[in-house]
Structure 1
Amino acid sequence: MKKKLVLALSIFAATFALSTESVKAQDGRGERPQQNLTPAQRVDNQIQRWTKALSLSSDQVNQIKPLLLELNQKRDAMRDAPDKRAAMREMRDLVTAQDAKMKTILSAEQYTKYEDIKDEAKDRMKGKFGGRN
Structure 2
Amino acid sequence: MKKLLILLAAFSISAAASAQTAPVKAARGQHQKAHNKDLTPEQRADRAAQKLTKSLSLSAAQSQQVRQLHLARIQQQQARKVQPGTVAKADRKARHQAMKGQRTQYDAQLKQILSADQYTKYAQMQVDKKAKHQAKRQAKG
Query: Same fold by TM-score, threshold 0.5 exceeded?
Result: yes
Rounded to whole Å, the distance in 1 between the matches of 2:68 and 2:32 is 28
> Larger RCO: Structure 1 or Structure 2 (Cα < 8 Å, ≥ 6 residues apart)?
2
Rounded to whole Å, the distance in 1 between the matches of 2:47 and 2:119 is 19
Identity %: 35
- Please say which structure displays the higher CA radius of gyration: 2
3-state secondary structure, aligned to 2:31: coil
Q: Which residue of 2 aligns with 1:40?
A: 42
- The 5 A counterparts of 1:116-131 are 116-130=124-138
3-state secondary structure, aligned to 1:30: helix
Rounded to whole Å, the distance in 1 between the matches of 2:50 and 2:29 is 16
Change (3 A) 1:74 1:106: same
Residue 56 of structure 1 and its aligned partner are, at CA, apart by 0.6
Residue 37 of structure 1 and its aligned partner are, at CA, apart by 2.6
In the alignment, residue 87 of structure 1 is paired with which amino acid? R
Rounded to whole Å, the distance in 1 between the matches of 2:38 and 2:136 is 19
Match of 1:57 among 56, 59, 79: 59
In the alignment, residue 107 of structure 2 is paired with which amino acid? D
Rounded to whole Å, the distance in 2 between the matches of 1:31 and 1:58 is 27
Q: Structure 2 stretches of 5 or more lacking a match? A: 1-21
TM-score (norm 2): 0.65
In the alignment, residue 39 of structure 2 is paired with which amino acid? L
| CA RMSD, Structure 1 to Structure 2 (Å) | 2.7
Residues 14-57 of structure 1 show CA distances to partners (whole Å, capped at 9, x for unaligned) of xx97xx67xx48x5552623233332222111111111100010
3-state secondary structure, aligned to 2:58: coil
Match of 1:90 among 81, 84, 98: 98
3-state secondary structure, aligned to 1:102: helix
TM-score (norm 1): 0.68
Change (3 A) 1:56 1:37: same
Residue 109 of structure 1 and its aligned partner are, at CA, apart by 0.7
Aligned positions, number: 111
Rounded to whole Å, the distance in 1 between the matches of 2:32 and 2:122 is 26
Runs of 4+ in 1 over 6 A off after TM superposition: none
Q: Which residue of 2 aligns with 1:79?
A: 81
Cα contact 2:50–2:63 (8 A) shared by 1: no
